[in-house]
Structure 1
């Protein structure tokens, strides 16, 4: 089984996912080598701002049930449980169902061949129909249980309809598959009729207002995530140290300023205009250099220290599942580990350009006790948005000229950049394992992600890259979790 899975997510983002078991201690490092010509560095990109706006993580219980057919094969009766167990396992199934159809729909929308697209869409439609029927056959009769079922049923019906309609909206144009298209539309109409006319889950005002129905379904989604997605408590580190550095920097600057003032008073006799101008210049330089001096001191002291701590809790029991430390900083070349530098030295000579290195590290310590509900693993997914990088890139303005039969034509070409990415994985006290990627991107999208060969003396970790990883693993099992 792959230790880390890598895939392109949307146009300008990369997603990494991996799993951990109770008692695991794992450190995961990413070194982004950003070419200097991209103009990205500590002076143009604030690490803290990028962490909160460009890095999105999700941690949840995990199982191998990835796609809708696997969800169907794992469905079990929910009625043979207590009320609390029923609610927990109902949420688990609904969440797994929603993520599975979202995953399959996303994969389907990437297909450009019409026959392949509609064949897969037809299969997806069949599986959705079967799963919804199987789910509704287990509707409880007890009123205390029924409200939980109705919330999940309402959301799944709406979400399936939305995913199918969205997939059809991106379908390749073809008149040869009208039967499949009509079959999907018929299912969407029947689900809409089921929600609004048969079960009357949503009021007329909610049905007619897109904002209200969207917000209601968002609330239902949060309800079914209860007990599945782990609660995160993020805390910035070094707050007190930063205040101390600020005070120390201010004190040192004032010491210099005071010494200059005393010297100026001794040089000039009495309170003169020249003395006032000199004092004004001294205070002006103080304001100019105080912030720079403080920032330089803080960056020096903070170098190599974690920036944030995170506690992951089970949302049902509030028990601590794992603790994490997070680093994010621009690194100096002398601080980069020797093995990472050796990997980058293997590049082709034409690709050896000056780079700025952005380093991300997350160290996780999972609680050494069994998880709730029989789960044996948790999964972490981290999505890195490259949009803040793309903002600094130049638009392609060059043109390539061609001659044919005396006629000259031209074609606009885009400016592309290559970001090298080195990943390092270390489990406990084991030896680190490595992987390297080349991310080719332009201002609007990631063109391709390719894995590069490592030197023979460096151990790679088991990896699924984008070419073989067209599946999302953010799902959970109902009853048993496979390791």
Structure 2
């Protein structure tokens, strides 16, 4: 599997998923080729505003397999266990479990084929039931540990129920798969009864959807403690921008002062002509001051990162990584040579004029070891295409057909294709690339497909290292990787 996974997330978004280890230095650049007929350009969409509103990242610790936090067998003796270690492993399991079922349920919801949908739903129910059963089999008896277990157990039970009910609410109708539907509903009822039996939530909370939702959000934040990294975002170039503004103002004032001195020399005394001349000079100063300042800033800012991000461990508060982020519309001549070569090999019908939106992120992970049990950081970046969709036209065309002398018409939707070129450069290795075609209309992303690269361009998919995805694993896999020993 590729070191970087690009796949559709929801109806109008896709995600980029990758992992980093200690000492890694990795830069990822995404180049969006937005056709001119989409109507998206720097004049109506600011790149910085787009990144703040439509690009959402999630950076957390990750460990291969869901077996790690079946925690009681993780330590050799009772003396080596601490509440902090138990909570870290427990939170890691609960967080990865919730992300896994969220990922699988979203992918399942996109399946249109009825047989495949219900087969996948049946498998999902089996795996969820197995993992919950094995997780609860390792419930601690110590009161100081039991509180943290109940938080994770309450949230996972509720979250699994909600994801399954959501799938059932949008499931395709078919009487052939009533047994699968009953199985899913039975699992949801069992989880609801389980929470009632454990008295996890009060009657007042259960009767009010708002209280339930807010409580579960609180539990999720508690589960993320120690797993999701704390982010400190800083805007770069603030001082440089002020300096640029000062330089532009100074240059304009020198020119204006020179013109005023010349005007006073040519027009002696305070006359109407002198007043009008000074008014014209000051008017031109106001007109050109902002233009000069903006031109200087674009020249200075070109190629510079716009933000920096510090990643901190929420437990130790130590910095474990730093990132630089780029976002801007660029010209075709500013594209790397390999990217231009990839785009030049496109089919002639795809060679249309386009605006180029560039998003880049450079990550440098510290050399020091992570907390015990953590070996990898996983970053997931979600890109929403909804800001692009608002500029698209609705399909108004019709296709006409003739059959047996009768003419019929059918409305068709307007579709657009975005070419996405992804460049990966890690440590001191040569960059590798991947190209994707994103087909979308005004309401959703229709398809995301990977395209073949020229033979002389290194492909990201050619890398031998595999990238485990955040997916639910079967009970057999968990048992093979993490045999539970007696404490």
* TM score, norm. by length of structure 1: 0.89
**Aligned residue in 2 for 1:77:** 72
Alignment of 1:213-362 (within 5 A): 213-268=212-267, 270-272=269-271, 275-362=274-361
Contact kept in structure 1, 2:57 and 2:379, CA below 8 Å: yes
Shift of 1:274: 5.2
* Alignment length (residue pairs): 470
Shift of 1:240: 0.6
Alignment of 1:105-184 (within 5 A): 105-184=105-184
SS of structure 1 residue aligned to 2:372: helix
Shift of 1:209: 2.1
**Aligned residue in 1 for 2:17:** 17
Shift of 1:346: 0.9
Shift of 1:137: 3.0
SS of structure 1 residue aligned to 2:85: helix
Contact kept in structure 1, 2:313 and 2:320, CA below 8 Å: yes
Shift of 1:135: 2.3
Shift of 1:238: 0.8
Shift of 1:279: 4.0
CA distance in structure 1 between the aligned counterparts of 2:4 and 2:308, rounded to whole angstroms: 22
* TM score, norm. by length of structure 2: 0.89
**Aligned residue in 2 for 1:462:** 461
Shift of 1:281: 4.1
CA distance in structure 2 between the aligned counterparts of 1:416 and 1:263, rounded to whole angstroms: 61
Shift of 1:41: 2.5
Is 2:431 aligned against 1:436?
A: no
Alignment of 1:364-443 (within 5 A): 364-443=363-442
Shift of 1:298: 0.6
Change (3 A) 1:53 1:436: same
Once the two structures are superposed, residues 398-439 of structure 1 have per-residue CA deviations (whole angstroms, 9 ceiling, x without a partner) of 222222233222222222222111111112111111111222
Q: Over the residues paired in the alignment, what is the CA RMSD in angstroms?
A: 2.7
Contact kept in structure 2, 1:64 and 1:473, CA below 8 Å: no
Once the two structures are superposed, residues 214-233 of structure 1 have per-residue CA deviations (whole angstroms, 9 ceiling, x without a partner) of 11111110110111111111
SS of structure 2 residue aligned to 1:373: coil
Contact kept in structure 2, 1:62 and 1:379, CA below 8 Å: yes
CA distance in structure 2 between the aligned counterparts of 1:73 and 1:325, rounded to whole angstroms: 32
CA distance in structure 1 between the aligned counterparts of 2:470 and 2:33, rounded to whole angstroms: 27
Shift of 1:146: 2.0
Change (3 A) 1:400 1:281: farther
Extract unaligned runs of 5+ from structure 2.
483-487
Once the two structures are superposed, residues 130-182 of structure 1 have per-residue CA deviations (whole angstroms, 9 ceiling, x without a partner) of 33233223333332222212211211111111011111111110122223322
Change (3 A) 1:278 1:200: farther
CA distance in structure 1 between the aligned counterparts of 2:246 and 2:454, rounded to whole angstroms: 48
SS of structure 2 residue aligned to 1:9: strand
Shift of 1:36: 2.2
CA distance in structure 2 between the aligned counterparts of 1:73 and 1:114, rounded to whole angstroms: 35
**Aligned residue in 1 for 2:485:** none
